[in-house]
Chains A and B, each alone.
Chain A
Amino acid sequence: MRIPCPFCGPRDVSEFVTLGEATGPRPDPAAPDAAEKFFAYAYLRSNPAGPSEEHWYHALGCRSWLKVVRDTRTHEIESAALAREGAR
């Protein structure tokens, strides 16, 4: 599998580290419902059979966090963008 890094170009998956599904920003620990929010943030995944938004880190390249849309059935990559340029 190759990931098209927006800075480096297409690179082998061995250069990347995956964080898994992009679950959004870390919840506010001071909020009254923090326990529920953190449970969802840490454990609940939608695990789709199809396009999945994921965070990948280009550890052996430009050391950027990427937001990658990958089809979990075919490993086809729809898009890859620097995470800082979009919603986390």
Chain B
Amino acid sequence: MSEVLTFRSPCAGALKDIGVAATPGVSVRERSPQIATVIARGAIADFAARLKASFGVQWVEGSKVSSGGGLVLVATGPRAWLALRDAGSENLATSLGEGLGETAAVIEQSSGYAVLRIAGEKARATFEKGLGIDLHPRAFAPGDAASTSCAHLNVVIWQVDGAPTYDVAVPRSFAAAFCHWLMESVAEFGLKVL
């Protein structure tokens, strides 16, 4: 007998519009990309060369985002990345494993994280209530990434553009707590759930 497991959002029911009558200062959209953890093996130059050859992605050193062709690698440590790609027919972990070969270990993580896209002119002011890092444009710009804590919850955050738009990945079981923090912190600015 087969059992069909249906996808359930980790943020289901936790995000609601706030003050939609006025222009909301922040918007939030839950993304559902495929996710994998990538850990380099051996020389980092070999890893970077394979990444470029197989996926056309130029590796950027440091706590940064490397991206190209719809694939995004967010640095989470000196030799570790969170890889994301919008859901398609091909499995991300499988294609990364084949493309990177012996230069990296790849672990499927698609159901392990909630990924939220948070944007708007008050997005920075909202995150300043929870993050301990400097988000001023001179310290944190598009392409920068940080693994840190937001209101004591582990988060990986990276800036997408200057709107500002941020993507934040939260371990799945903390998603409801993160949404609770977001709803409280964004209340004064207004929130639009996209």
Chain A residues packing against B (C-beta within 8 Å): 7-9, 11-12, 14-15, 60-64, 82
Contacts and interface: CB of A to CB of B under 8 A. Distances in A.
Given A62-B63, A62-B77, A63-B77, A8 B146 contact: yes
Given A62-B76, A64-B78, A11 B148 contact: yes
B63 A60 contact: no
Given A61-B147, A62-B63, A7 B77 contact: yes
Interface size class of B (residues with CB under 8 A): 10 to 19
Given A61-B147, A61-B148, A11 B77 contact: no
Contacts of A11: 132-133, 148
B132 A8 contact: no
Contacts of B56: none
Given A7-B63, A7-B77, A62-B76, 16 more contacts: A7-B62, A7-B78, A8-B146, A8-B148, A9-B133, A15-B148, A60-B147, A60-B148, A61-B146, A61-B148, A62-B63, A62-B78, A62-B80, A63-B77, A64-B78, A82-B78
Contacts of B147: 8, 60-63
Interface of B: 62-63, 76-78, 80, 132-133, 146-149, 154
Nearest to A61: B147
A46 B89 CA distance: 60
